[in-house]
A and B are shown apart, each in its own frame.
Chain A
C-alpha cells in the first residue's frame, strides 16, 4: 500500500492541514495573507498531483485556477484592500492563540475519527483526502469564528473553500463544469465581500465586525 504516489499525496494533504494551523497562529494581517497564498499554492500542487496519478487532465485546469486566482489574484487584491483601508498595522485581538490551537487539534482529531469510519469501503487515497479536506474546512471555519477583523474572516472563508476543492479532487469523477462554476462563484463572492468591506469601513470607521453588533443594538 505504501507506495510513493500515496506518500506524496499524503504529504501534500498533510501540508495543507499544517498550513491551516499556521493560519490560526498568525496575528498580523499581512502575514496571514502570505500564509493564505502558501495554502493555495500547496492546494494547487496537491490537485496537480491528483491529476497526475488519477490520469485526469481536467484536474490540471482546477490546479491552474487555484494557482492563478487563489495564490496570486486574491492575495494581491487583499493586500491592496488592506493598504487602502489603512489597517495594515492592525494586530488581531482573536481568542488567544493557545486555546485556538487546542480547538483546532480537537477538530482535526474529530474529522479524522469521523471520516475514516464513514468511508470504510472507499479507496485509501480518497479516504485520506476526504479526512484531511474535512479538517481543512473545519479549520477555515475556526479562522472565521475566532477573528474579529472582517478581512481575516474573508481569508478564513477562502481557506474553507480550499478544503472543498481538495475533497472534490479526492473523489473521482467531478465534472469540470462544476469546478469552474464553483471557482467563479467564489470569485464573485470575493468581489461582493470586498465591496462590503469598504461599506463597513465607511460606516463604522473600522472593519471590526463587533461594530455591527453595536449598531444593531446588541450587547457584546
Chain B
C-alpha cells in the first residue's frame, strides 16, 4: 500500500513537470511580449505548437543515420528523468534516493552529447557550428556547475537533493555568503545551458549568433517536437533546481499527507512563476553578448563557485 502511494506521488511529480514545462515557456514569452508593449501569443501556445509538430510528417536527410533518429528520444528521456529527480513540491519522494546532483549533471551531459552528435550527423555546416559552440559553452558551464555542487554539498553534507533542501529549509544554516555566490553562479549556468538571452537567443535564426538553434535546424515533425519539449523541460528543471536548492521554504516533507502536497505544489507553482517573471524581466533588460564574450561570462560563474567553496572551507575549518 505504501509502495503504491509512493509510486503515485512520484508519478504526480513527473506529470507536474511534464504539464508545467510548456506553460512556463509560454508564460515567459507572454511576459516578455507584454513588457515590450506587444500583446504576445497565448500562454498555451507552446502546447499548440507541440501538438501541431506531432501531427506533421518527418522529413529526413538521405544520409541521416540511426543516431539522428534516436537522438530526440534519448535527449527527451534523459532530461525528463533528470527533471523527475528534482524535488518540486515534496522531499523524500520515491526516486529521491537517486536524486544526486552529480547524477543530474551527468544526465544533462548525456542529453547534450547526443544533441551535439546529431547536429554533426547530417553534415551541414550549420550543424557543425552549432555543435562546436554548444560544446564550447558546455566545457565551461560544466565545471562551474560541479563547483556549485561541491559548494552546496559542503554546506549540507550531502549531494542528495532532498537532504540538501531539508537542511537549508531548517534554521541551522545561518547566514552564508557562499550560498549566495553559488546561487548567482547557478543562475549564470542556467542562462547559458538553456540558451537564454545573454548567451543565445533561440527565437532568431541569424547564423552569426545561433547556438542551440543551429544544431536542431535539420529536425522536423515529431523529432522537433521531442527536442523542443526537452528544451522546455530543461528550463523548468533548472528553475526548480534553483528553487529547491536555495528557496526550499514551503516544500512538503515526505509523508505529510495529500493536503500538504497540494499546498507544496501551489507554493512551487508560485515560486516558478515568480522566477519566470524575473527571467523575462532580465531578458528584456539585457542584450545578447558576442559568442566570444561567453567564456568570460561563464568564467565569472566558475570563479564564483570556486570562491564560494574556498570561503566555505575557511568558515568550516575554524
Contacts and interface: CB of A to CB of B under 8 A. Distances in A.
B307 A98 contact: no
A11 B303 contact: no
Nearest to A7: B175
A54 B194 CA distance: 47
A8 interface: yes
Contact of A21 (B303, B314, B318): B303
A194 interface: no
Contacts, number: 60
B310 A112 contact: yes
A8 B178 CA distance: 12
B296 interface: yes
B314 A131 contact: yes
B177 A108 contact: no
A98 B299 contact: yes
Contact of A101 (B181, B303, B313): B303
B314 A18 contact: no
Nearest to A135: B310
B315 A18 contact: no
Which among B176, B313, B315 has the greatest number of chain A C-beta atoms within 10 A?
B315
A128 interface: yes
Which among B176, B304, B306, B311 has the greatest number of chain A C-beta atoms within 10 A?
B311
A10 B315 contact: yes
Contact of A17 (B174, B176, B307, B317): B307
Contacts of B143: none
A11 B175 CA distance: 8
Contacts of A60: none
B61 to A, nearest CB: 38
A192 interface: no
Contact of A10 (B299, B310, B311): B311
Which among A4, A98, A132 has the greatest number of chain B C-beta atoms within 10 A?
A98
Contacts of A8: 175
A97 B300 CA distance: 10
Nearest to B318: A124
Given A4-B175, A7-B176, A8-B175, A116 B315 contact: no
Contact of B181 (A1, A2, A18, A97): A18
Contacts of B313: 112
Nearest to A21: B303
Interface in B275-317: 295-296, 299-300, 303-304, 306-307, 310-311, 313-315, 317
A25 B296 CA distance: 9
Contacts of B317: 116
B175 A101 contact: no
Which among B300, B306, B314 has the greatest number of chain A C-beta atoms within 10 A?
B314
Given A2-B174, A4-B174, A10-B315, A108 B295 contact: no
Given A14-B177, A127-B318, A128-B314, A101 B299 contact: yes
A109 interface: yes
A180 interface: no
Interface string A1-27: 110101110110011011001000100
B177 A10 contact: yes
Contacts of A112: 310, 313-314
Interface of A: 1-2, 4, 6-8, 10-11, 14-15, 17-18, 21, 25, 97-98, 101, 105, 108-109, 112, 116, 124, 127-128, 131-132
17 contacts: A10-B315, A11-B176, A11-B177, A14-B307, A14-B311, A17-B307, A17-B311, A21-B303, A98-B296, A98-B299, A105-B306, A112-B313, A112-B314, A116-B314, A116-B317, A128-B318, A132-B314
Interface of B: 174-178, 181, 295-296, 299-300, 303-304, 306-307, 310-311, 313-315, 317-318
